[in-house]
Amino acid sequence: MNRFVIVLAAVLIGSGAWPSSSAAAQRSAKQPAAASMEVINLNSATAVQLADLPGIGVRTAELVVQYRVKNGPFKKIEEIMNVRGVGEKSFLRIKDRITVAAAKSEK
């Protein structure tokens, strides 16, 4: 009986029918954290905040900030594609996560 249980468990684990800890880890890794789903304002975001966007790394985030400093605030979200390293595919991945609201002035 014990041998049957071990063989059955091995078959289930090998076929993916039995939830293994690595499968659970893969599922949780695919589900983004709630905090990372916040909308980022391109006109006030830091490079660190921008780097959290999917497909935008640290270097590209820095380029976004540099572009904003040089050219002024973004007027529409599509302008992010003017930044080197942000193409149409990247834009489509992040378009629901970015906005161009006026930057808040500090008082």
Q: Residue 73: its pLDDT value, please?
A: 96
Which pTM does this prediction carry? 0.62
SS3 86: coil
Q: Where are the beta strands (DSSP E) in the chain?
A: 40-41, 98-99
Distances (CA, A) of 51 to 10, 21, 60, 91, 95: 41, 29, 8, 14, 14
Q: What is the pLDDT of residues 9-56, one digit of tens each?
A: 444 455 454 444 444 444 444 444 444 578 999 999 999 999 999 999
55 DSSP assignment: T
CA 103 to chain centre: 22
Domain ranges of the chain: 2-31, 35-99
CATH of domain 35-99: 1.10.150.320
The predicted pLDDT at position 6 comes to 55
